[in-house]
A and B are shown apart, each in its own frame.
Chain A
């Protein structure tokens, strides 16, 4: 299956620890998007990356959150010094082209982050 791969599927962290979420886009896709979903809510945009470039991080909290998409390897969403409010499902999506109005996003299965 060459779909969008996210790992881990579930991640438990204590307050103050770091969380690293990984996303490998579909084969042939060079555009990656991260979304966050709180319980019983829709997905909220966080960041859009192309290889080695952050295109738009307007949805990402200014502190503790960072994202990268290196030339080689998966995209990483990093949350430093996690707090309970960071508990959520984090979804990665990819597309072949820069998202246009008709460009379908392919989503991974998400990482459920639980902060104790």
Chain B
């Protein structure tokens, strides 16, 4: 069965520093996608970055990059040069070719300190 695990309920980072949010997944399907979403206190879900299981390179989107380690089944989100506006909940999600549903992790609450 598909599963997403985020083991860090909360993280702190100093402004302008980098932070890594962990995500591990489990699926028997060779074709899958991994997504990260940000949920600020206002509640909306904001798409950040996507990584496909067959992608050769790690995905990057501005200050966001995804450290994809397929053998370890991990897809950690790296945020560089943290900003106060990065304080939010961050969710890792997976979609595989056997289902049309996202499976979400329980999230990591990030707090950026001034």
Mark A residues whose CB is within 8 Å of B.
33, 35, 40-45, 48, 55-56, 59, 89, 91, 93, 98-110, 112
Identity of the chain A residue whose Cβ is nearest the Cβ of B32 in the assembled complex: A101
Identity of the chain B residue whose Cβ is nearest the Cβ of A46 in the assembled complex: B101
Assembly CA distance A105 to B102 (angstroms): 9
| Contact among B47, B91, B97 with A101 in the assembled complex (CB-CB below 8 Å) | B97
Contacts of A100 in B (CB 8 A): 33, 95, 97, 100
Contacts of A56 in B (CB 8 A): 100-101
Assembly CA distance A112 to B41 (angstroms): 13
Asked if B18 is at the interface (CB within 8 A of a chain A CB), the reply is no
Identity of the chain B residue whose Cβ is nearest the Cβ of A42 in the assembled complex: B104
Assembly CA distance A40 to B6 (angstroms): 13
> Is the beta-carbon distance between B45 and A102 smaller than 8 angstroms?
no
> Is the beta-carbon distance between A91 and B45 smaller than 8 angstroms?
yes
Mark B residues whose CB is within 8 Å of A.
4, 31-33, 35, 37, 42-45, 47, 50, 52-53, 91, 93, 95-97, 100-107
Question: A106-B47, A107-B44, A109-B43 known; A43 and B102 CB under 8 Å?
Answer: yes
> Is the beta-carbon distance between B43 and A104 smaller than 8 angstroms?
no
Contacts of A48 in B (CB 8 A): 100-101
Assembly CA distance A63 to B85 (angstroms): 41
Assembly CA distance A91 to B44 (angstroms): 9
> Is the beta-carbon distance between B104 and A109 smaller than 8 angstroms?
no
Give 12 new A-B contacts, CB below 8 A, not counting A42-B104, A108-B44.
A33-B101, A40-B106, A43-B45, A45-B101, A45-B103, A56-B100, A91-B45, A100-B100, A101-B31, A103-B33, A105-B47, A110-B44
Assembly CA distance A28 to B52 (angstroms): 24
> Is the beta-carbon distance between B100 and A89 smaller than 8 angstroms?
no
Contacts of A44 in B (CB 8 A): 104
Contacts of B37 in A (CB 8 A): 107
> Is the beta-carbon distance between A99 and B100 smaller than 8 angstroms?
yes
> Is the beta-carbon distance between A101 and B53 smaller than 8 angstroms?
yes
Identity of the chain A residue whose Cβ is nearest the Cβ of B94 in the assembled complex: A101
Identity of the chain A residue whose Cβ is nearest the Cβ of B45 in the assembled complex: A107
Contacts of A91 in B (CB 8 A): 45
